[in-house]
Amino acid sequence: MRNLFLRYAVAVVAIPVILLILWIGPSWAFNLFTTVIMMAALNEWLNLFRTQKLAAPRILSITMGLVMTGGMWAFSLTNDGLYLYITTTLVMTGICLFGLIDLHHDIKQKVLGNGSITLALLLSCWGGGSLILLREMNSTPDGRFWIVLLFVMVWVGDAGAMHIGKLIGRHKLAPIISPKKTVEGLIGGILISTAMGCFFHHFLHLPIPVWHIGIIAPITVLLAHLGDLTGSIVKRVAGVKDSGKGIPGHGGYLDRFDNLMLTAPFLYLYVRMILG
């Protein structure tokens, strides 16, 4: 109970700060804030992989993460895909070089290390980079509305799934990976997230048909759970409960933001490709 109170107390303080940076601050302030958070999450990924001797050197990994995120930032400002191509090529080259260095010691560990750093970079940087792309998107409504909608659906869906799972959860969703998650909680999270998304749509008079919310919300909650379960797998292998201690009541940055790592890319693609 005490931990739950601390969890919500931190959220009450942190969420308005994040929304103020997003809504009132210049775009570069939100982009920089997002980059810092995602690099912190990437660092926690590295710590988890390091317990199995799989992580690439920290400086190399963070540098590659900054290069990837910087490429998305440049693309969001110029709409020139060349930046994404160049930065992705540089990062993949860095991963390959890491895999070829000192091969005579343990080839298997190098292969697994390459896979681990690729997963960490993709999830961290594409998640954070997609938030940057959404923020800079010239759309109707503008990108800030989409980010707030994403936060609402993900965090309300997460809270709803947790509480409904505690109340009526009977069927385990993934007992080996995350014993507390239930099928009933997931369904409840989807319903609550969809309801809140519709309320958000009505309250802000979003100029899109409301049925889009009925598509976006369920997929968002499903992807949020998938991202969370992916993080849980790595934590279980590493033998830890939380990825870090950076956020009181929540654990690490990865614990709090892993549910955005798949949902942000999905929402960006949906807005860009379906809503134009």
Q: Quick one: pLDDT at residue 106?
A: 67
Which amino acid is present at 115?
G
The owner of tokens 């940055």 is: 253
Instruction: Report the Cα 253 to chain-centroid distance in Å.
Output: 10
> 9: Cβ–Cβ under 8 A, 6 or more apart, which residues?
249
Q: Beta partners for 213?
A: none
Q: What is the DSSP letter of 181?
A: E
Q: Quick one: pLDDT at residue 5?
A: 65
Relative orientation angle of helices 211-238 and 107-136, to the nearest 10 degrees: 150
Distance CA(34)–CA(180), nearest Å, equals 29
Q: Quick one: pLDDT at residue 15?
A: 81
Domain boundaries, the chain: 2-274
Distance CA(49)–CA(29), nearest Å, equals 30
Report field, pTM of the whole predicted structure over 0.75: yes
Backbone angles phi, psi at 95, to 5 degrees: -65, -40
Strands (E), the chain: 172-174, 178-182
Give the closest residue to 91 by CA, choosing from 116, 113, 122. Answer: 122
Residue 180: strand, helix, or coil: strand
Q: Quick one: pLDDT at residue 3?
A: 63
Each residue's pLDDT tens digit in the chain (276 positions)? Answer: 556 667 667 777 778 888 888 888 888 899 999 999 989 988 888 888 877 777 667 888 888 899 988 888 888 888 888 888 898 888 888 887 777 766 556 677 777 777 778 888 888 888 888 999 998 887 767 888 899 899 989 988 988 888 898 888 888 888 888 888 899 999 999 999 999 999 988 887 778 889 999 999 999 999 999 988 888 888 887 788 777 777 766 678 888 788 888 999 999 999 988 876
Q: Quick one: pLDDT at residue 249?
A: 61
Q: What is the DSSP letter of 260?
A: G
Q: Quick one: pLDDT at residue 103?
A: 56
Q: Quick one: pLDDT at residue 33?
A: 92
Q: Quick one: pLDDT at residue 125?
A: 86
